Structure 1
């Protein structure tokens, strides 16, 4: 089996209003064999209950929303078998997939906001050269 290289970048939102919020993805690249479990780590800092997102960007394509946490259940299931679990006590929202496939080779972005996208007073975001995605 060939290993997959999964580059990761973090999107940090600069928010208007109450407190500073950020996300951190400690792993710059993740190498995983095809068929092996995939985990991409994301930690966040927020003074309010955040809305959390995972995006995927394949080469020469735009961002694709994989999953989002708005409220309720802490385990979120997204597209293509991806899942993320919100662990408030650890302030983490790690992305997981039970079995990685070569087509999962892409850049992954963890993001947060203190408002629902499209709502008044939303977040102002500055992703690294990926354009406007909300």
Structure 2
């Protein structure tokens, strides 16, 4: 049996007009290879937030997995068969994958912002 360890860390953004935050209640998640995995992300923001999930493998920079700019509940597809379900009324943006791979072992970051720092290039791909 192969065990996959996933570390999580919440990222938040602050502005003069208020604060947004995310919490990831599971510090470490261990799953068997091929098993379903869910990484929980709860956010705090009263408007329509911009939500992001990043992955960071050892000795590499963070890579954007997926993002959501929706004002209503939506399922967002990302890279590497990851998806996240945005539920506005529950203030959650949980990352899911139906079958974990050994190569998925990494740190995962959930982030929230009320604005995107750029509309072209890779600006929105950097952690907040």
Q: Is the 8 A contact 1:51 1:113 kept in 2?
A: yes
Q: What is the aligned partner in structure 2 of residue 99 from structure 1?
A: 99
**In structure 1, how many angstroms separate the alpha carbons of the residues matched to 2:108 and 2:101?**
15
Count of aligned positions: 121
- Listed one character per residue, the Cα deviations across residues 15-58 of structure 1 (whole Å, up to 9, x for unaligned) are 232x2210000000000000000100000000211000000000
**In structure 2, how many angstroms separate the alpha carbons of the residues matched to 1:34 and 1:15?**
40
* Partner SS, residue 99 of structure 1: coil
Q: Is the 8 A contact 1:20 1:47 kept in 2?
A: no
TM-score, L = length of structure 1: 0.85
**In structure 1, how many angstroms separate the alpha carbons of the residues matched to 2:76 and 2:16?**
27
Instruction: Structure 2: give runs of 5+ residues left out of the alignment.
Output: 120-125
Q: What is the aligned partner in structure 2 of residue 127 from structure 1?
A: none
**In structure 1, how many angstroms separate the alpha carbons of the residues matched to 2:74 and 2:16?**
26
TM-score, L = length of structure 2: 0.89
The root-mean-square deviation of aligned C-alpha atoms, in Å, is 1.5
Moved over 3 A (4+): none
Instruction: Structure 1: give runs of 5+ residues left out of the alignment.
Output: 120-131
